[in-house]
Structure 1
Amino acid sequence: MTQLKLLLLAVGFYTRLPVPALQNYSQLPQSTVYLPLVGWIIGALTALSCYLADYLWPTPVGVILALIVGILLTGAFHEDGFADVCDGFGGGYNKTRILAIMKDSYIGVYGTVGLLLLFALKISLLSAQGNSAPLFLLVGHSISRLPPLLLMRQYDYTRIDNSKVAAAVYKPNGQDLVFTSAIALLPLALLPSLCLLALVPVIIINTLLGHYFYRHIGGYTGDCLGASQQVAEVVFYLSASTLWTFI
């Protein structure tokens, strides 16, 4: 029953989906191990919307509608973090300035351009997959929610003030990572076995991203975790679509 409560906490925090009102938010940090399972839910709903839309409109339209559904389900939670990271690291010249920019609620040029390019890549890559786009969405949403947990395991939370993402201050242990990795990778069974190789670029890019964050701000913030998820999702689409040509 405790695990179910943690799952509901994760769903309530990382999505806009309704959950029972009486939740113990002091356990919110521990619920992050269910982030890939939240990815299952978001991935399944976006995949379903893409699949259904494909009966009425061309594939690019279905992909765009699926992305809209994903944003509505999550409240652009991770996209917001990605935009803040683009603004912070694009316009900041030291740790203090970078953190200040990322905390600002306004989006700047770097964030705007970053989001435009991010969505352009997603639409292009998923549209090119045709009927396989729903599967890519399901797997991509699950796998991309593992890299933020890897960053949390390796680095420290860099903010010391009471920010909106203070709940992210949690360091998963080895058992947590084994559990959450199994959840994140299970949907890969829906794709040809060659697509397992798509994990390699995802891990490499996430490792480099972690080093970049550490070098500039000494760790991570909640925005960094959101950016990690978005980058991992796009890298997975890039890698899997490349491998798809050999299948």
Structure 2
Amino acid sequence: MLDPIVEPGRFTDLDSFIFESWGYFIIPNVLSKDEVAECLAASKRLHAAAGTKGWGQVGRGYETEAALEKLIDHPAVLPKIRGIYGDRFILQSGWNTMQPAHGKMGGWHQDGSSAYNFNKVSSPIPLIQLRASYLLTDQSKPRTGNMEFIPGSHRSMVVLPDTVRKGATEVPIGHVICAPAGSVLLFHNALWHRTYAHDGDYDRFTMHYIYSPPWIRSSDRLQNSQEFLQRTTPLRRALMGEFERPDAPYGANYPNPHVDLQNVED
């Protein structure tokens, strides 16, 4: 199977073509082994504190875990987000997910909001959530809790059949993503995807960061932690949506909130 692998950092014209064509790409070697270990330990602490039983996800871990906070504006990934969105976007949410050992196959779905499904906005569904998923356990072989994507399905005007979504029929064009820990998957909210089975005797962890246009409401928090805002960097505060809006709500004088983005890319 072909793999849409791109280089870390700068968003290139080829990156743009791959993303528009496939709806996702893979950035390898984003985190070192030590960084993976730090993020994995942080993930385990989050789920232990939350009392996760079985599959589960915990939001806002970046507020308390320094290793996860660093990923918000990682220089290997943030230039890709900027290349796709431009300068005006926010971190809508951050979710740390755990798939337990011997976890079952997930259901096919598109990302969005059950409060107002994105397919009501337009068809094909526009980019409203751009997800960067940091793999914190090895997924270099199938059936290790991988993600499975249907390449190009973010552009489909036809809904995935119910028989496939319910697991009664397999889709012949699914791509099981095999990548080592430390890799990042970047994908479009309208891409059909599911969690693949996990045969290992260890829990699988992934840290997801979801970036959106600045007018999208946060989904992992009702408001930002003031303690976190006071101690974090100006760029991360801006990514949390904490910037001045002189016109209500986003008028002609809305400035670029991400004053440090050029430094990140360089």
Could you tell me the TM-score, scaled by structure 2's length?
A: 0.26
Structure (1/2) with the larger helix percentage: 1
Could you tell me the TM-score, scaled by structure 1's length?
A: 0.28
